[in-house]
């Protein structure tokens, strides 16, 4: 994770189709080149430009294993969506952290009945049929079970209703779905849960800082215009939940912006040539850019946070799982948590 503040001495200029740099050399069609040479079309010439914040998270190759006496050893975890890239990353992180992976997972109907091997662990896949009875039997065998959900947006609400009906605590990392209905389901059931569309701890810390700024300085950017670009792997079907959260903060700061104005990049060719995504991470990345411009176009602010790989999310998910287990064990009155609650706990690995 790299975090910096750069105030250029000279005016910076933009290319008329620029996006993000991702830290690599861009051609003449790049949108926001990350501080390199630019032309002066879309955003226009700036007399004063303040570039704030560029966060890039390279993949973490090795997760530190806890000591043999760690209290996390043996905590049972069931990962639904285990055949997906995010599910596999969570399983790897769970095994590295010493958690006990339950050899059962819910998947689509086409994969039902299959046994797959993930990170050296065999897992039996079950489709939509009979899920309630299957989950109840798993809970009977593993009373301290926590479910981790990284499935698909369309399954968010049905899955949450299943977990709540059976009474099993869960960590929901899947984005999308009807979020208001999701929270109501969990609240009515009194089940413990961590729900967050963003599991990356450092990105969540950035979001928390944005929330503080929005609360303490409402209207600070009144009159400013905003452009937002987000690039994710082509398999991501919905708009970035992180982008939505940041936009909400900017709206509180006085910036008018509608979610349908977000520029989504899903085409691999554009991601490499315009955004600057390394080719090896086309199937797993999250690049975001937010560009603010003053009414007279003499001042601009630019925020970036770029992630390659999935390790940052997998580690955060395991921290959330361990956090939730501790809350359950202590009989905490609060039942619904997010990743900011996990950060505030202050004892992440």
Would you name the residues annotated as active-site residues? 232, 236
The CB-side HSE value for 100 (13 A sphere, CA atoms) comes to 14
Picking from 140, 102, 105, the residue whose alpha carbon sits closest to that of residue 125 is: 105
**Torsion, CA 171, CA 173, CA 179, CA 184, rounded to 10:** 0
How far apart, in whole angstroms, are the C-alpha atoms of residue 249 and residue 245?
A: 7
**Which of 138, 74, 66, 75 shows the shortest CA–CA distance to 106?**
138
- 77 CB-contact burial (10 Å; exposed 0-12 / middle 13-18 / buried 19+): buried
Long-range contacts of 89-93 (CB under 8 A, 24+ apart): 89/310, 89/311, 89/313, 89/314, 90/148, 90/150, 90/173, 90/313, 90/314, 90/317, 90/318, 91/118, 91/119, 91/121, 92/63, 92/119, 92/314, 93/63, 93/311, 93/314, 93/315, 93/317, 93/318
Strands 193-195 and 336-337: parallel
Tokens of 54: 């560029």
Closest residue by Cα to residue 103 from 114, 111, 93: 114
Asked if residue 194 lies in contact with residue 337, where contact means CB atoms within 8 angstroms, the answer is yes
């Amino acid at each position: 994770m790299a975090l910096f503040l750069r105030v250029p001495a000279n005016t910076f200029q933009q290319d008329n189709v620029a996006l993000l740099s991702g830290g690599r050399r861009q051609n003449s069609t790049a949108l926001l080149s990350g501080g390199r040479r630019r032309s002066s079309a879309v955003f226009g010439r700036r007399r004063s430009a303040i570039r704030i914040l560029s966060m890039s998270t390279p993949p973490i190759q090795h997760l530190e294993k806890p000591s043999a006496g760690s209290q996390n050893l043996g905590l049972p975890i069931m990962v639904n969506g285990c055949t997906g890239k995010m599910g596999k990353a969570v399983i790897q992180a769970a095994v590295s952290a010493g958690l006990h992976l339950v050899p059962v997972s819910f998947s689509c109907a086409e994969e039902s009945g299959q046994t797959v091997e993930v990170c050296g662990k065999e897992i039996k896949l079950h489709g939509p049929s009979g899920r309630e009875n299957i989950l109840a039997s798993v809970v009977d065998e593993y009373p301290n079970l926590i479910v981790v959900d990284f499935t698909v947006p369309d399954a968010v609400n049905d899955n949450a209703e299943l977990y709540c009906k059976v009474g099993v605590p869960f960590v929901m990392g899947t984005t999308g779905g009807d979020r208001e209905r999701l929270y109501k389901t969990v609240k009515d059931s009194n089940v413990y849960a961590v729900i967050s569309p963003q599991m990356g701890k450092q990105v969540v810390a950035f979001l928390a800082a944005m929330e503080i700024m929005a609360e303490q300085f409402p209207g600070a950017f009144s009159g400013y215009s905003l452009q937002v670009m987000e690039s994710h792997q082509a398999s991501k079907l919905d708009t970035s939940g992180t982008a939505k959260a940041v936009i909400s903060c900017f709206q509180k700061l006085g910036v008018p912006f509608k979610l349908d104005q977000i520029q989504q990049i899903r085409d691999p060719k554009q991601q490499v040539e315009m955004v600057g995504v390394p080719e090896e991470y086309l199937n797993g990345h999250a690049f975001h850019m937010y560009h603010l411009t003053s009414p007279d176009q003499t001042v601009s602010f630019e925020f970036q946070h770029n992630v390659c790989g999935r390790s940052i999310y997998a580690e955060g998910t395991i921290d959330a799982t361990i956090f939730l287990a501790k809350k359950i064990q202590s009989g905490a009155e609060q039942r619904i948590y997010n990743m900011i609650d996990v950060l505030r706990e202050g004892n992440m690995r």
